[in-house]
């Protein structure tokens, strides 16, 4: 028996996705079974839930997806703009593992040349040199005043 899996992934939004599952899960499963679903599975993932449904024919999926109850459930997700993903295949953590690939360098693979860093200036203490001519200090209180002319 060959089946084709489809996934409806709902992420948390204003409310947790588990509350959405509790409210609409039974209606979605009833609609799926009555429209030809062979297998189904709920998967709880970090930050959301995934409903995986298997149909034998693509027409069965199309008929299920166009039902008013399914449309209403998808419109009522906690974040219908950024938190709803509907795609073929299994989702969540059931996908096949693939080895991590190293990121490819951007452009031609060239890197920028590092800019040389100048060493910071070294502070040196000034050496006190004796003055060129000797200073003679006059004693305090000994001032000569010249008469004004």
Q: What is the pLDDT of residues 1-55, one digit of tens each?
A: 688 999 999 999 888 999 999 999 999 999 999 999 999 999 999 999 999 999 9
Percent residues over pLDDT 90 in the chain: 42
* Mean pLDDT score, 114-139: 74
Report d(CA 87, CA 43) in Å as an integer.
15
Residues 43 and 92: beta-carbon distance below 8 Å: yes
* Whether residue 128 has pLDDT greater than 80: no
Which strands, in side-by-side order, build the sheet including 84-88? 37-45, 48-55, 4-11, 84-88
* Whether residue 103 has pLDDT greater than 50: yes
Report d(CA 28, CA 40) in Å as an integer.
10
**Location of structure tokens 């800019």:** 115
Specify the DSSP element, H or E, that contains 27: helix 17-34
pLDDT of res. 109: 60
């Amino acid at each position: 028996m060959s089946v084709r899996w489809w996934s409806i992934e709902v992420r948390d939004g204003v409310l947790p996705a588990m509350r959405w599952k509790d409210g609409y899960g039974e209606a979605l499963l009833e609609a799926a079974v009555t429209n030809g679903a062979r297998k189904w599975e709920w998967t709880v993932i970090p930050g959301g839930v995934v409903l995986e449904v298997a149909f034998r024919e693509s027409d069965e999926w199309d008929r299920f997806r166009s039902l008013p109850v399914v449309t209403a459930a998808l419109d009522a997700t906690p974040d219908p703009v950024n938190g709803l993903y509907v795609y073929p295949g299994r989702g969540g953590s059931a996908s096949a593992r693939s080895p991590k690939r190293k990121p490819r360098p951007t452009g031609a693979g060239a890197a920028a040349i590092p800019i040389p860093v100048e060493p910071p200036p070294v502070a040196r203490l000034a050496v006190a040199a004796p003055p060129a001519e000797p200073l003679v200090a006059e004693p305090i209180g000994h001032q000569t005043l010249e008469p004004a002319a």
